[in-house]
Structure 1
Amino acid sequence: MSYEQFAYLYDELMKDAPYDQWVEFVKNILVKYDVHAAKLLDLACGTGELSVRFAKQGFDVTGIDLSEDMLAVAQAKAEANSVKIPFFQQNMANLEGQGQFNVIGIFCDSLNYLQTEDEVKTTFSNVHQHLRTNGVFIFDVHSIFKMTDVFLNQTFALNEEEVSYIWNSFPGEHPNSVEHELSFFVLDERTGKYDRIDELHFQRTYPINQYAHWLDAAGFEILEISADFEHLEPAPTSERIFFVAKKK
């Protein structure tokens, strides 16, 4: 999966994402479970939208992402917002050597980009090693309902003057997986013509009880499982599932 050009279009694709709700969700969790959260690791931080928001809220943030280009955008964004955030290039499934944190988050369904069960289990194990005792791990994933009833065989589109896209979603190779085929059309102001950029992205999810089993096996105590930012139990039509787990 290549992010070389996609990194600079990601914010356009995600411009309506409820980033502030993620921040409030995390803050509420930390108050609810009395977690001191000086050090926060934003794992799979992308272009740094959440990293910057957390830093501006007073967190000591570290950002990690697989994509060098995403991290370049994130670093520029941090500088523009006058916050100091160290960013490192690593695969979340190969997390190592980053010290320990009070809170580790994998937000914006980034965990769904891991392609195998082993990668998810390894990520949980590595997160456990990088958490302080009683530290919390917070992540969200797409529900099976969203994969099968919202994404599959659907087309999404944006038509604006400078950037437009067509986004088609197809069944993936594995159960509860999706391939996202994206075609961006970006205005070149020098020529007045549009450049086409094509991307293919893969996402895969699992049943809630499977994630819970893997968390338990990695040494976590599950504090809560909720849906759609509401701190309520998932329903059959919930689209985003949140997990909050504590290092035993």
Structure 2
Amino acid sequence: MNCYGKFAHIYDNLINSDIDYSTWAKKIMNIYEKLNIDRENYLDLACGTGNMTEKLALYFKNTWAVDLSSEMLSEADIKLRNSGLKVNFICQDITNFELNRKFNLITCCLDSTNYILKESDLQSYFKSVFNHLENNGIFLFDINSYYKITNILGNNTYTYDDEDITYMWENYLEDDIVDMYLTFFIRHEDFYKRFDENHRERAYTCEYIESTLKNCGFKIINKLDNYSDKTVTDVSERISYIVTKL
């Protein structure tokens, strides 16, 4: 699957207008501080270009970040070095990562968990997190809800156009997996350069996520509607989980 290659270089231009990382980070730290946990070690999984890493690294003594895309990690490394932050970037698969250390806070934001398509890989991912989490640590992640993937993404087509970037986004849903085919046209002086990306996400029910978490040894502290204090409903589009070890 061609995923997060050339897209890494324009990712922030597209995502930063839709995602308020500062608000998300403040909410995460508000939750974290109420639990009175040490600010020693933080791990950001599927860190992408380091937007959440950059916000939360400010609060911790040591920060590590993992992603499967070397292109995204390169963008993140440049960004955080320019911000004067020291972060350890590692290129690994989050379904089976090994860092030989434990963390007080682990995050995995922006529906990266939905990119895990196999149930066995989801279990391996949760177990890897469990093994890297301090006994009183917190794991905070979010998912695109079953409703969003099956009803909003579904079999729909979206387009975007401005002076520098144009894209077409076509979705095909089958057996709870949405295939997203994106065609980009990026302006280079007086011409446009095309590249294509294919992304796949799986729709997981809350019942399945929660039962898998418990089977892997986690206790669910809370779940939120998109990093807000609103209660999760049947039409919530993003669901955030806050869990710890049993």
Q: TM-score, normalised by structure 2?
A: 0.94
Asked whether the equivalents of residues 80 and 87 of structure 2 are also in contact (C-alpha less than 8 Å), the reply is yes
Distance (Å, rounded) in 2 between the aligned partners of 1:149 and 1:114: 19
Distance (Å, rounded) in 1 between the aligned partners of 2:199 and 2:6: 13
Question: Match of 1:241?
Answer: 239
Q: Which amino acid aligns with 1:18?
A: D
Task: Name the Cα RMSD after superposition.
Answer: 1.4
Aligned partner (choices 197, 202, 218) of residue 199 of structure 1:
197
Mapped pair 1:78 → 2:80: yes
The sequence identity of aligned pairs, in percent, is 32
Question: Match of 2:188?
Answer: 188
Mapped pair 1:179 → 2:179: yes
Question: Match of 1:93?
Answer: 95
Q: Which amino acid aligns with 1:200?
A: N
1:149-176 Cα distance to aligned partner (Å, 9 max, x none)? 211122222211111211122214x32x
Q: Which runs of 5+ in 1 are unaligned?
A: none
Distance (Å, rounded) in 2 between the aligned partners of 1:228 and 1:97: 29
Asked whether the equivalents of residues 30 and 36 of structure 1 are also in contact (C-alpha less than 8 Å), the reply is no
Question: Match of 2:9?
Answer: 8
Distance (Å, rounded) in 2 between the aligned partners of 1:59 and 1:234: 33
Asked whether the equivalents of residues 39 and 59 of structure 2 are also in contact (C-alpha less than 8 Å), the reply is no
Distance (Å, rounded) in 2 between the aligned partners of 1:37 and 1:207: 32
Q: Give the secondary structure class of the aligned counterpart of 1:77.
A: helix
Aligned partner (choices 206, 210, 213) of residue 211 of structure 2:
213
Q: TM-score, normalised by structure 1?
A: 0.94
1:98 Cα deviation from its structure 2 partner: 3.8
Q: Give the secondary structure class of the aligned counterpart of 2:71.
A: helix
Distance (Å, rounded) in 2 between the aligned partners of 1:6 and 1:133: 37
Q: Residues 155-174 of structure 1: matches in 2 within 5 Å?
A: 155-172=157-174, 174=175
Q: Give the secondary structure class of the aligned counterpart of 1:203.
A: strand
Distance (Å, rounded) in 1 between the aligned partners of 2:138 and 2:59: 18
Distance (Å, rounded) in 2 between the aligned partners of 1:64 and 1:55: 14
1:200-239 Cα distance to aligned partner (Å, 9 max, x none)? 1000121111111111111111101221222333111100
Count of aligned pairs: 244
Question: Which deviates more, 4-13 or 118-127?
Answer: 4-13
Q: Give the secondary structure class of the aligned counterpart of 2:140.
A: strand
Q: Which runs of 5+ in 2 are unaligned?
A: none
Distance (Å, rounded) in 2 between the aligned partners of 1:30 and 1:62: 18
1:8-54 Cα distance to aligned partner (Å, 9 max, x none)? 12212312212112201211111232222321100000011111111
Asked whether the equivalents of residues 42 and 60 of structure 2 are also in contact (C-alpha less than 8 Å), the reply is no
